[in-house]
């Protein structure tokens, strides 16, 4: 392995085989590895740091909007899951069951949580009594298990990490307001922190969460032109409060069932970062969530340890002190060229090179991962320049991704054209749809495209057109795409 390390491990170019590139880059960059249990993964330190940044940046938003974190149990009694009919139908094929504790067989099987509505509903029924107890605004960061048949690191794994918000309100309007506020929060978070533009809207009944009144989603276009669901926010109505008997005395002293929401994003977002921003050279992370934002590579020629290394070390500590996540790569066993490729592959947004000539000129060379632009930066202005460059990279990465999304979004009223786009170019297609699930199924069968989201368009801005499939008159526009 030490010998192999002298050469950059070659990964299949993205342009050649996207799917192979995806798994190779994840393992080579040490984001994740396969675990000994089928469908499970290990998130390695380099990948886990991204999750820590996501948690930090999203948790801040969750708390600022009035929510608190809590922790609910991993195991849910089978009878609880079965209380909500749609819910149990949706989840039981995916549940891992605990049947024994120590040497004893359990009287009732326990589900390893595939989501926590049932156990949280049970607790809320104890905690909520009056309108004064509302709203309840709780979030949980936890692990989740779903027994998936086909898995891919980050995108679909038997175990994953997520946050799940669970709120309870006095009436439908407040629950609906919460559902949409969280959807906006997710959109703002993903676009700003992950530099990934999304479309948002409502899921069709076929695609909604098992047990929800309505599911709202944010979806992004990956660089292979397939869509990925990035996060969902559900208005649960009174479905769960009725089966778990979560009642409160309202302002008029009447007993009512609460109105609930739930919402979540997961470690899937790391997969989105890989697929939205990566290229043939490897990963590309937006600075706000990059595990390493800046790598310093001293040009190891001649007496570099005496002439260059001390300056590089000084730069490292200056940047560290100003809050930059910086790494100095001073390893002797690798050439500078090898290091350049290695850190490009690992997606570090900015590289600082420093050689003998730079020392003479009191400068260094800054190279952007996104545009590969090089510029010389005087030592004196390093501390000002680096944060400025990182901010700029964050912004251009979003703009690039937005340009890509726009140039791969089509609108058509002709089903033949629709089919031909899905067949050749892929991407997002906006088309009118009658609202009937038979058309939705037919389109899926014939093109493999599903409705990703029905955008929330105010009544007055809608026009009446023909359903792309059956021709029936409709004012519902939908985003279609092939999806993960």
* Positions in the binding site for its own copies (CB under 8 A): 1-2, 33, 35-37, 40-45, 48-49, 51-52, 68-77, 80, 92-103, 109-110, 112, 119, 122-123, 126-127, 129-130, 132-133, 138, 142-143, 145, 147, 158-159, 161, 249, 333
- Angle at CA 250, nearest 5°, toward 247 and 252? 145
Q: Is 60 or 374 the residue whose CB approaches its own copies more closely?
A: 60
Closest separation in Å from C-beta 100 to its own copies:
4
Measured between alpha carbons, how far is 325 from 316 in angstroms, rounded to an integer? 9
User: CA of 154: how far to CAs of 268, 291, 467, in Å?
Assistant: 5, 17, 36
Q: Is 331 or 425 the residue whose CB approaches its own copies more closely?
A: 331
Distance of CA 418 to the CA centre of its chain: 28
Number of neighbouring beta carbons within 10 Å of residue 241: 22
Phi, psi values for residue 278, rounded to 5°: -65, 160
User: Helix or strand or coil: residue 455?
Assistant: coil
The two three-digit tokens of residue 450, written as one number: 């599903």
Closest separation in Å from C-beta 461 to its own copies:
41
Half-sphere exposure (Cβ direction) of 124: Cα atoms closer than 13 Å: 32
Q: Is 103 or 306 the residue whose CB approaches its own copies more closely?
A: 103
Q: Is 96 or 477 the residue whose CB approaches its own copies more closely?
A: 96
Q: Is 119 or 213 the residue whose CB approaches its own copies more closely?
A: 119
Closest separation in Å from C-beta 98 to its own copies:
5
Closest separation in Å from C-beta 337 to its own copies:
20
Distance of CA 158 to the CA centre of its chain: 17
Q: Is 281 or 342 the residue whose CB approaches its own copies more closely?
A: 342
Closest separation in Å from C-beta 281 to its own copies:
24
Strands 136-145 and 159-169: antiparallel
Alpha helix (H) ranges present in 244-324? 268-277, 304-307, 309-321
DSSP at 413: S
Closest separation in Å from C-beta 344 to its own copies:
22
Q: Is 95 or 236 the residue whose CB approaches its own copies more closely?
A: 95
Closest separation in Å from C-beta 330 to its own copies:
14
């Amino acid at each position: 392995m030490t010998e192999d390390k002298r050469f950059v491990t070659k990964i299949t170019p993205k342009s050649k085989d996207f799917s192979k590139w995806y798994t190779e880059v994840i393992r080579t960059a040490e984001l994740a590895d396969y675990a000994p249990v089928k469908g499970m993964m290990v998130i390695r330190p380099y990948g886990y740091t991204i999750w820590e940044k996501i948690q930090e940046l999203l948790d801040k938003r969750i708390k600022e909007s009035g929510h608190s974190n809590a922790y609910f149990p991993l195991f849910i009694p089978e009878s609880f899951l079965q209380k909500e009919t749609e819910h149990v139908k949706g989840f039981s094929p995916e549940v891992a069951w605990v049947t024994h504790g120590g040497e004893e067989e359990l009287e009732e099987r326990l589900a390893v949580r595939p989501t926590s509505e049932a156990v949280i509903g049970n607790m809320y029924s104890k905690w909520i009594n009056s309108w004064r107890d509302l709203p309840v605004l709780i979030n949980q960061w936890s692990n989740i298990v779903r027994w998936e048949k086909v898995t891919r690191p980050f995108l679909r794994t038997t175990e994953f990490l997520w946050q799940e918000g669970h709120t309870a309100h006095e009436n439908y309007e407040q629950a609906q307001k919460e559902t949409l506020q969280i959807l906006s929060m997710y959109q703002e978070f993903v676009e700003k922190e992950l530099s990934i533009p999304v479309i948002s809207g409502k899921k069709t009944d076929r695609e909604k969460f098992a047990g929800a009144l309505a599911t709202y989603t944010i979806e992004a276009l990956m660089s292979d032109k397939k869509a990925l669901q990035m996060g969902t926010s559900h208005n649960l109505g009174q479905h769960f409060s009725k089966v778990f008997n979560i009642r409160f005395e309202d302002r008029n002293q009447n007993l009512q069932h609460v109105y609930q929401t739930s919402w979540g994003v997961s470690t899937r977002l790391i997969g989105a970062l890989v697929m939205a921003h990566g290229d043939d050279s490897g990963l590309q992370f937006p600075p706000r969530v990059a595990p390493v934002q800046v790598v310093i590579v001293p040009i190891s020629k001649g007496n570099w340890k005496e002439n260059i290394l001390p300056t590089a070390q000084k730069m490292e500590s200056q940047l560290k002190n100003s809050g930059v996540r910086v790494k100095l790569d001073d390893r002797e066993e690798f050439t500078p060229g090898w290091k350049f490729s290695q850190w490009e592959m690992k997606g570090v947004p900015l590289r600082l090179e420093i050689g003998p000539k730079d020392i003479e000129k009191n400068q260094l060379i800054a190279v952007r991962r996104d545009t590969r632009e090089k510029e010389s930066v005087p030592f004196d202005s390093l501390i000002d320049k680096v944060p400025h460059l990182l901010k700029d990279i964050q912004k251009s990465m979003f703009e690039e991704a937005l340009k890509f999304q726009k140039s791969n979004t089509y609108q058509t009223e002709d089903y033949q054209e629709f089919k031909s786009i899905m067949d050749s170019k892929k991407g997002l297609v906006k088309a009118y749809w009658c609202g009937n699930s038979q058309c939705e199924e037919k389109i899926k069968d014939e093109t493999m495209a599903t409705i990703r989201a029905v955008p929330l368009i105010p009544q007055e801005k809608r026009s009446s057109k023909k359903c792309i499939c059956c021709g029936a008159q409709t004012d519902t526009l939908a985003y279609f795409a092939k999806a993960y």
